[in-house]
Amino acid sequence: MTGLEEFWLHSNSFSGPLPDFSGFCLLKQGVPCDPRVHTLLSIAASFGYPVNFAENWKGNNPCDGSWLGISCDDDGNITVINFQKMGLNGAISPEFGKLAALQRLLLSDNNLTGTIPSSLTSLAFLKELDVSDNSLVGKVPTFSKNVLLKTQGNQNIGKDSPIPSSTSGDAPLSENASGLAGSSPSSDIQVVEAGNMVISIQVLRNVTNNFSVENIIGRGGFGTVYRGDLHDGTKIAVKRMEGGVVGSKGLNEFKSEIAVLTKVRHRNLVSLLGYCLDGGERLLVYEYMPQGTLSRHLFDWKEEGLKPLEWKKRLAIALDVARGVEYLHSLAHQSFIHRDLKPLNILLGDDMNAKVADFGLVRLADGKGCAAETKLAGTFGYLAPEYAAIGRVTTKADVFSFGVILMEMITGRKALDESLPEESVHLVTWFRRMQIANKDASFLKNVVDPSAIDAGDEESLAGITAVADLAGHCCNRDPGQRPDMGHAVNVLSTLTELWKPSDPDTEESYGIDLGTSLPQALKRWQAFDDRVGGGTSSFLAGIDSTYTSIPTRRPEFAESFTSLDGR
């Protein structure tokens, strides 16, 4: 982007020093970057774009003597790369293999993980490769006898796997300082034993085309979500934590999401398929939800060329969300508080069925539906008043957030919209004011999203009135006056009495055939329960065994995650 003049990043939660993006290439219009620059930037990407590279690599000529760690011959060929003791994280990039004149590659005394790329064996002039004192694993490729190879200080180098991993869900666990089970004390690779949920970083690189920009399907406060394509056409979603949040806070959120999703299973909660912890990498693998977020369909449908959600579909989505949250609060083996309910964390499938996602902020509730909390977390606009004021979080905080979502679905407006006049910025305040001031039919005319209903649709208008009342109750300032999610499910269910499952399989699994006798129905339910499984497994240390969230998978799908090439 040679014409870029402004780069706005406000209203985010970035941390760390700001790299200088102005130094690369310095091109005239239409003149491409030097191929050597492209290669070096690809290499930097595998290390997470270190700040010292961004600060010291300038211009379009890496051989001008100013590029940190780069040395060249008189013909402008890169011959030596010296990245020793730079505190680098990540993996050794295969892109090093494109530097045909490279003679010495020095990467010792860093925090590098993964394997030595076989592409390095194609470097005809390579004389020295020093990767000592890192955390590399796997077999060492065969180099020419003329290459001085230094690999000492990598305890698991030369081994197929640094950690023996049991495929049994009830394998005994050991706990290390990080609180994760099964981690090798000498490696940055950590394992949380959860059946066969551990997935290698190389597999995830393969299925996401090396985390290609073209595969990005979403971004959040804690990372980027990529689409992954398995060899059989199955799609997955891979959530990759950003390097800046892989501290204690980011790791806690990562562990929390694994802990919750391995303890709950519900058709309206997104399913966790696996995870990866490798050096500085933290990745979670989910089922793929092709229609993306509810936010996309509520607020960005015009820009993305989508059809607006009709009211009946919004109602069905609201019911799905209510059922998922009700399960978290009161129907699972333990009670959980989500703490970050919002349209961005509600995902939609092909038939627009909704599932609640992003469990990084979930807290375990006590018998009274409360959780001790000292630090505020969540998203402004959706935070319950008592939580924002005194840090007290209960299941009623989720009820408040759900009420805000209902208001957004009715109005088509965001919880906070600073483009509006000051008195209308905060949706809940504006919505309540409109409810009080307009107690007749004019209320609906003033607040309802016109794209949701057709003119004269009296049936939908009657339903919207009931949902508006429910939203107002959910957003009551007094948490004691808010209903529980079971009440919300009951209200929404009565408004969707014509709802039917979208396919026969769903009807067979979850529906009730009123023409079937009770003994026959009981046999069907038992058969279904046996089919999906109800076993227990041990996962994070200190967490009791309960139902796993891993859905039953085809054998070839499981194998896709255990082969290094993703096949």
Helices (runs of H) and strands (runs of E) counted in the chain: 15, 19
2-12 per-residue burial string, b: 16 or more CB within 10 A, e: under 16: eeeeeeeeeee
β-bridge partners, 276: 283
pLDDT of res. 189: 32
Give the whole-angstrom CA distance, residue 430 versus residue 408: 12
pLDDT of res. 187: 30
Radius of gyration in angstroms for the set of CA atoms belonging to the chain, rounded to a whole number:
27
Give the whole-angstrom CA distance, residue 417 versus residue 302: 17
Query: Is 235 among the annotated ligand-binding positions?
Result: no
pLDDT of res. 129: 95
Q: Which of 289, 388, 398 is nearest to 340 (CA)?
A: 398
- Asked if 328 contacts 223 with a C-beta cutoff of 8 angstroms, the reply is no
Residues of the chain with pLDDT under 50: 10-11, 13, 15-18, 20-22, 160-196, 244-246, 372, 374, 498-500, 502, 504-511, 533-567
Q: Which residues are catalytic?
A: 340
3-state secondary structure 197-214: CECCHHHHHHHCCCCCHH
pLDDT of res. 59: 82
Q: What is the DSSP letter of 426?
A: B
Domains assigned to the chain: 35-150 (3.80.10.10), 201-288+535-560 (3.30.200.20), 294-499 (1.10.510.10)
pLDDT of res. 156: 77
pLDDT of res. 489: 96
User: Which residue spans within 231-332 are E strands per DSSP?
Assistant: 235-241, 272-278, 281-287
SS3 354: strand
Q: Would you say how long the chain is, in residues?
A: 567
